[in-house]
Amino acid sequence: MDKIQLSNQVVGDELQGFVISVVTDIVAVSATALVGLGSVFVSLALVYVTRKNQKSQNAVHAASLAISHWDNVQRNTAKYLSSVSCLGMVIRNHKGDEMPLNLPQLYSEMMENSLNVTLVLPDSDQGKIINRLIADLNKAVINRDCSHTDSGALASAVGTQMRNLLREERQKHFGN
């Protein structure tokens, strides 16, 4: 290790302040440079890990939204098929011209549930098939000439097609 020299400098007849004379230690400078480079590399690694983590969190959030969406579609389909069944039962149990007072409310609920399903379906071939089946079922359930078996077959077709769509979408998003 080099010596550090402390001395007073005389300029003219006056004594000046301390003068420090230090020889540069290449090992100390190299160590400082390595620490600085290490800090840069650690910062870059931290940025890389943070970005990877953020992408992973974004993927998890997107998957969560997709799960929520398709769960909602499934729930709305169940409500729709239930309201179709209820409305069909009321219509078929009243043979006369006079219908029950709650028929408009039941029909309105069925149509609302129908829209809750059709408005969120994808624009795929499967979505178009389900839309057509729902439209046919909506007509069949209020048609007194349509048998319970025919409307039941349409309701079953809606359920089957929806199950297939949900399976496809879940497999597309989650690989299950």
Q: What per-residue confidence (pLDDT) applies to 135?
A: 95
Other Cβ atoms closer than 10 A to 69: 13
pLDDT digits (tens, 9 = 90+) for 26-38: 888 888 999 999 9
Instruction: For residues 140 and 146, give the distance between their C-alpha atoms in angstroms, rounded to a whole number.
Output: 6
pLDDT for residue 1 is more than 60: no
* Tokens 């020299």, located at residue: 5
C-alpha atoms less than 13 angstroms from C-alpha of 80 in its C-beta half-sphere: 28
Instruction: For residues 88 and 96, give the distance between their C-alpha atoms in angstroms, rounded to a whole number.
Output: 15
pLDDT for residue 102 is more than 90: no
pLDDT digits (tens, 9 = 90+) for 149-170: 888 899 999 999 999 999 988 8
Beta strands in 28-148 (DSSP E): none
**Residue 10 token pair:** 């005389």
Distances in whole angstroms, Cα of residue 129 to Cα of each of 40, 56, 72, 80: 58, 35, 19, 16
pLDDT digits (tens, 9 = 90+) for 35-59: 999 999 999 999 999 999 999 999 8
Domains and CATH numbers, the chain: 62-174 (1.20.120)
Question: Whole-model pTM above 0.85?
Answer: no
Ordered DSSP codes for 150-172: HHHHHHHHHHHHHHHHHHHHHHH
Instruction: For residues 18 and 165, give the distance between their C-alpha atoms in angstroms, rounded to a whole number.
Output: 86
Q: What's the chain's average pLDDT?
A: 86
| Percent of residues, the chain, with pLDDT higher than 70 | 86
- For residues 162 and 74, is the Cβ–Cβ distance under 8 A? yes
Secondary element (H or E) of residue 126: helix 125-142
Q: What confidence category does residue 144 fall into, taking pLDDT thresholds of 50, 70 and 90?
A: confident
pLDDT for residue 24 is more than 90: no
pLDDT for residue 176 is more than 60: no
pLDDT for residue 3 is more than 60: no
pLDDT digits (tens, 9 = 90+) for 78-97: 999 999 999 988 888 887 77
